[in-house]
Structure 1
């Protein structure tokens, strides 16, 4: 990735957080999804380009989301039900942020078809995929992010496609990481599960499958 492109990739979602962030399918082809189920934001299931790769240090280089290959104009849909907290342009690219309560998902570059305050269901169309600002330029792809509080998570775990990773957690005096819901885990623990997301949003600091969300802090991708 060109240094300037990588710098923008770090800056843009950080600005989003300050404000709050295949084969093409026709608009009418977006199939309904079961209540509470997470869905891929592109349909049919897209090819995954660059995967989630959190940095080793708070301000280090990394990839705090995933890139899903698509086509310009392809419908983008909300992965989970929630409310739109940002829909507009940031640093020359279209961005949509959906708040799910304890977590939020981000989508870029997108030409939004929703407005701040709109309630959306999983599978609802929130815009169309743009080329400008693509992490895969000159090809089009959707950068999809997931965050719970200050923890960056692998969004592929929402759809049961995320790998199991081992990452260091902040430990207490006994060398164990204590989650907000009171469960203690060793200082090295599973960061994300590989099961689909539950119907309810996970607690802040926990992964979509209820496991520890281990990389905390730092700038967005």
Structure 2
């Protein structure tokens, strides 16, 4: 029996990554550190992804929304956009080009990666997404993260 590896998007293209979201950094960046959900809300994890984006790189709204916060948290400049339906994106470190209360469009420049950037090399921006009060993997909004499926291929006679 022959098995064929099929990407789920090939089976149902409409079920791919949610429509309407875009990468916050362009061109599509490398992911320097992936999302790591904590075992419990209070335990360590990585509640977002670090996207390769050296200081000065434009940061764009991945979805339309309203800026709900710009300011310093601990020692980092943070920008948060409320996209509605319980979804909020946060970016750090970002020199904001917008203010709290501003409406932003998908793809609009909302700031620039601040100096120094995020991560060990200072060449990234951290992107976190919350659904209600839970952090989720931001990549699910720009990529199809469903696992590939092996399907049997009927034998030919």
Q: CA RMSD in A?
A: 1.6
Cα 1:72–1:120, aligned 2, differ >3 Å: closer, same or farther? same
Q: Partner of 1:152: helix, strand, or coil?
A: strand
Give runs of aligned pairs for residues 1-221 of structure 1, distance below 5 A: 37-101=20-84, 102-132=86-116, 134=118, 136-162=119-145
**Whose radius of gyration is greater, 1 or 2?**
2
Unaligned runs of 5+ in 2: 1-18, 148-157
Q: Partner of 2:140: helix, strand, or coil?
A: helix
Return the alpha-carbon distance in structure 2 between the equivalents of residues 127 and 103 of structure 1: 19
The offset of 1:49, in angstroms, is 1.0
Higher strand fraction (1 or 2): 2
Answer yes or no: is the 8 Å Cα contact 1:103–1:148 preserved in 2: yes
Greater relative contact order: 1 or 2 (C-alpha under 8 angstroms, separation 6 or more)?
2
Answer yes or no: is the 8 Å Cα contact 1:71–1:129 preserved in 2: yes
Answer yes or no: is the 8 Å Cα contact 1:42–1:77 preserved in 2: yes
Higher helix fraction (1 or 2): 1
Q: Partner of 2:141: helix, strand, or coil?
A: helix
Q: Matched residue pairs, number? A: 128
